[in-house]
Amino acid sequence: MQLILRILKVRFEVSAKDVYLDSRFVEDLGIDIFDLPDLILALEEAFEVDISMTAAARILTVRDALRSVARG
């Protein structure tokens, strides 16, 4: 979770106090829908995993991101 928080803070200027497991990237954290591919790429690089297009489409919350990188 810490690494995801760091990515959100550095790349998207999201405050850690606003991030919860069920926080939605677009609706709750204010990440532009066009920045979601950048988020997926950042997750892949940080966790050294490949996230399929199908899995990426299901990443809507912080919890979803954690599940995807854990499966990686």
Does 64 qualify as catalytic in the annotation?
A: no
Specify burial of residue 71 (Cβ count, 10 A radius: 0-12, 13-18, 19+): exposed
Active-site hit among 18, 22, 28, 32: 32
> What does the alpha-carbon distance between residue 72 and residue 54 come to, in Å, rounded to a whole number?
13
* Enzyme catalytic residues: 32
